[in-house]
């Protein structure tokens, strides 16, 4: 296991990573609230943490990476009321689209995507513990966390309690004792989806699902918590208070990593500002590898500016320069085989390939310096270009030595996977699996209409489902094999 440093947002310093039980690493990243299509900002966070998990696996750690799905919340309920679509269906549909985008982007390191509504007993239990320990109070069928009871509330975001008040966009809630208190269980209003709990029918607050899910899957303490910078307050602050309050153990996570925001001309990308670029549009137009390259060719904690189409066109041109020699090499190796006899590269070129491999790992091990790793790969592409006219005469092992840094980048950065939009059968399989799971969830809650709709939409995409007891298999319809 390679040792590496990472910037920890809680202690505000770059620290050596020390796993709780090596070689295992428990990793949790805040996922999507799928009330709408994902935008390119979501892609940035997803790709960053995919690279973190890939790098850790490459270095010999055994990563268990989970990312939650907030499939019930106020925004989903509001969007459901606007569109006339059941919020749980809406969540499943948008999440399915998100998973397809993740497959295309090569985000494959997440082991499990737990949905909030699949963890209701764990959520109710954690709220009960917080009530018993005096951190929470019940009011009008809802339960709130009393922020003032948690001594270090505000430490992550560096705010004092009196500053830690919700923004003006948040409606005042009449049942709260103090404005900084946050909801753990929200009493249902008529017509809203709700679940039974000792305090009356309602739904979990946004923050509690994460800590109930991580406590049940990763335990009361784990190694790495990630998310977008915009989630630091109040969401992550609330998570720390809930989890440490309930378990009595600290810290919840050894390392807190935050991804910088993607900005449109310096502004936050948001629906209300009308500057949202849907992730799927960018993937279709520029290809997933260009997008990955664009995200990774930046310092991950800094804001990443997007100033319209031109930004991704430039990224596409730059990626072409990096990718072209790697493509040519791949062709040469494929044609001639790895053992093909021929001229050997000079010692110093072979040595510099090895040196570059070490340097690339070193860069990633220094707080995931992906931009510097990409710069080093550009340098290598210049070397490879010099040898390009002589590819025909080189031996298989020499060609492999030239290709080695690209193979590293393919494994760790997820780049160089070809420029297509990733629709072949192997890449589509996990997305189909998600559709099958969404259909199963719809059936479990008795929503057979939605289950049938999912089956039909897969059928129209040339994918047939076969139910066998509780197991569902899929295959391509005849003539549609991918």
Shortest Cβ 211–Zn ion spacing (Å): 9
Out of 10, 25, 30, 451, the residue judged to bind Zn ion by CB under 5 A: 30
Residues in the chain: 482
Task: CB nearer to Zn ion: give 230 or 411.
Answer: 230
| Phi/psi at 88 (5° precision) | -70, -35
Strand partners, 260: none
Shortest Cβ 183–Zn ion spacing (Å): 15
Shortest Cβ 210–Zn ion spacing (Å): 4
Contact track, Zn ion, 155-194, x by CB under 5 A: ----------------------------------------
Shortest Cβ 156–Zn ion spacing (Å): 13
User: Interacting stretch for Zn ion, rule CB under 5 A, among 23-31, 188-196, 391-399, 460-468?
Assistant: 23-31
Shortest Cβ 216–Zn ion spacing (Å): 15
Shortest Cβ 231–Zn ion spacing (Å): 6
User: Interacting stretch for Zn ion, rule CB under 5 A, among 57-65, 197-205, 206-214, 373-381?
Assistant: 206-214
Out of 50, 210, 361, 447, the residue judged to bind Zn ion by CB under 5 A: 210
Residue number, nearest CB to Zn ion: 30
Query: Exposed e or buried b for every residue in 204-229, given b needs 16+ CB within 10 A?
Result: bbbbbbbbbbbbebbeebbbbbbbbb
Task: CB nearer to Zn ion: give 114 or 325.
Answer: 114
Task: CB nearer to Zn ion: give 210 or 237.
Answer: 210
Shortest Cβ 437–Zn ion spacing (Å): 20
Task: CB nearer to Zn ion: give 228 or 288.
Answer: 228
User: Interacting stretch for Zn ion, rule CB under 5 A, among 134-142, 208-216, 324-332, 415-423?
Assistant: 208-216
Going 46 to 51 to 52 to 53, the CA torsion angle's sign is positive
Contact assessment for residue 163 and residue 155, using Cβ atoms and an 8 Å cutoff = no
Instruction: Count CB-CB contacts under 10 A for residue 318.
Output: 16
Task: CB nearer to Zn ion: give 30 or 442.
Answer: 30
Please state, in angstroms and rounded to a whole number, the distance separating the CA atoms of residues 216 and 123.
Answer: 10
For helices 347-364 and 370-387, give the axis angle rounded to 10 degrees. Answer: 160
| Phi/psi at 139 (5° precision) | -155, 120
**Phi-psi domain of 62 (left: phi exceeds 0; alpha: psi -120 through 50; beta: other):** beta
Q: Which two tokens stand for residue 191?
A: 């017509």
Shortest Cβ 252–Zn ion spacing (Å): 12
> By CB neighbour count within 10 A (0-12 exposed, 13-18 middle, 19+ buried), where does 151 fall?
exposed
User: Interacting stretch for Zn ion, rule CB under 5 A, among 204-212, 272-280, 286-294, 425-433?
Assistant: 204-212
| Phi/psi at 336 (5° precision) | -105, -15
Shortest Cβ 223–Zn ion spacing (Å): 17
For Zn ion, how many residues bind (rule: CB under 5 A)?
2
Contact assessment for residue 72 and residue 14, using Cβ atoms and an 8 Å cutoff = no
Task: CB nearer to Zn ion: give 103 or 210.
Answer: 210
Contacts of Zn ion in 346-375 (CB under 5 A): none
According to the binding rule CB under 5 A, does residue 237 interact with Zn ion?
Answer: no
According to the binding rule CB under 5 A, does residue 146 interact with Zn ion?
Answer: no
Task: CB nearer to Zn ion: give 45 or 472.
Answer: 45
Please state, in angstroms and rounded to a whole number, the distance separating the CA atoms of residues 26 and 221.
Answer: 9
Task: CB nearer to Zn ion: give 210 or 223.
Answer: 210
Q: Which two tokens stand for residue 471?
A: 């197991």
Task: CB nearer to Zn ion: give 67 or 109.
Answer: 67
Shortest Cβ 423–Zn ion spacing (Å): 31
User: Interacting stretch for Zn ion, rule CB under 5 A, among 30-38, 254-262, 265-273, 469-477?
Assistant: 30-38
**Residue 64 is inside which H or E element, if any?**
strand 62-67
User: Interacting stretch for Zn ion, rule CB under 5 A, among 25-33, 92-100, 359-367, 461-469?
Assistant: 25-33
DSSP conformation letters of 326-380: HHHHHHHHHHH-TT---BPPPHHHHHHHHHHHHHHHHHHTBT--HHHHHHHHHHH
Task: CB nearer to Zn ion: give 103 or 237.
Answer: 237
CA 428 to chain centre: 18
Q: Which two tokens stand for residue 422?
A: 């990733």
Q: What angle is formed at CA 74 by the lines to CA 70 and CA 252, rounded to 5 degrees? A: 45
User: Interacting stretch for Zn ion, rule CB under 5 A, among 83-91, 207-215, 259-267, 396-404?
Assistant: 207-215
Contacts of Zn ion in 306-325 (CB under 5 A): none
Contacts with Zn ion by CB under 5 A lie at 30, 210
């Amino acid at each position: 296991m390679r040792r590496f440093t990472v910037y920890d947002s809680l202690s505000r310093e770059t620290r050596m990573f020390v796993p709780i039980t090596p070689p295992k690493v428990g990793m949790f990243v805040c996922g999507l609230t799928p009330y709408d299509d994902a935008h390119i900002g979501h892609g940035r966070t997803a790709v960053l943490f995919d690279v973190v998990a890939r790098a850790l696996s490459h270095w010999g750690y055994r990563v268990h990476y989970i990312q939650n799905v907030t499939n019930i919340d106020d925004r989903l309920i509001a969007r459901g009321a606007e569109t006339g679509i059941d919020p749980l269906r809406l969540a499943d549909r948008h999440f399915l689209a998100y998973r397809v985008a993740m497959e295309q982007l090569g985000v494959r390191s997440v082991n499990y995507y737990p949905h909030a509504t699949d963890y209701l007993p764990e959520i109710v239990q954690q709220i009960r513990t917080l009530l018993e320990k005096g951190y929470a109070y019940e009011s009008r069928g809802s339960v709130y966390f009393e922020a003032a009871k948690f001594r270090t509330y505000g430490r992550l975001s560096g705010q004092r309690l009196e500053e830690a008040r919700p923004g003006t966009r948040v409606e005042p809630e009449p049942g709260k004792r103090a404005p900084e208190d946050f909801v753990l269980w929200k009493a249902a209003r008529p017509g809203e989806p709700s679940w039974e709990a000792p305090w009356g029918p309602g739904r979990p607050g946004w923050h509690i699902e994460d800590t109930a899910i991580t406590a049940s899957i990763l335990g009361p303490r784990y190694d790495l918590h990630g998310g977008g910078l915009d989630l630091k307050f109040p969401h992550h602050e609330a998570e720390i208070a809930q989890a440490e309050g309930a378990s009595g153990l600290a810290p919840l996570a050894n390392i807190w990593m935050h991804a910088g925001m993607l900005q449109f001309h310096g502004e936050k990308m948001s629906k209300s500002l009308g500057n949202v670029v849907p992730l799927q549009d960018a993937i279709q137009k520029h290809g997933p590898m260009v997008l990955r390259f664009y995200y990774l060719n930046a310092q991950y904690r800094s804001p990443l500016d997007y100033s319209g189409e031109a930004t991704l066109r430039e990224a596409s041109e730059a990626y072409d320069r990096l990718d072209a020699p790697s493509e040519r090499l791949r062709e040469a190796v494929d044609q001639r085989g790895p053992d093909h006899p021929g001229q050997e590269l000079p010692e110093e070129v072979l040595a510099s390939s090895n040196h570059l491999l070490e340097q690339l790992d070193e860069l990633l091990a220094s707080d995931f310096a992906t931009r510097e790793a990409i710069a080093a790969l550009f340098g290598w592409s210049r070397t490879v270009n010099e040898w390009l006219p002589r590819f025909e005469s080189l031996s298989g092992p020499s060609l492999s030595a030239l290709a080695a840094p690209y193979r590293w980048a393919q494994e760790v950065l997820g780049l160089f996977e070809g420029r297509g939009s990733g629709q072949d059968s192997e890449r589509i399989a996990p997305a189909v699996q998600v559709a099958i799971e969404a259909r199963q969830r719809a059936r479990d809650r008795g929503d057979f209409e939605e289950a049938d709709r999912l089956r039909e939409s897969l059928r129209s995409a040339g994918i047939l489902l076969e139910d066998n007891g509780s197991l569902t298999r899929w295959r391509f319809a005849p003539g549609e094999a991918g």
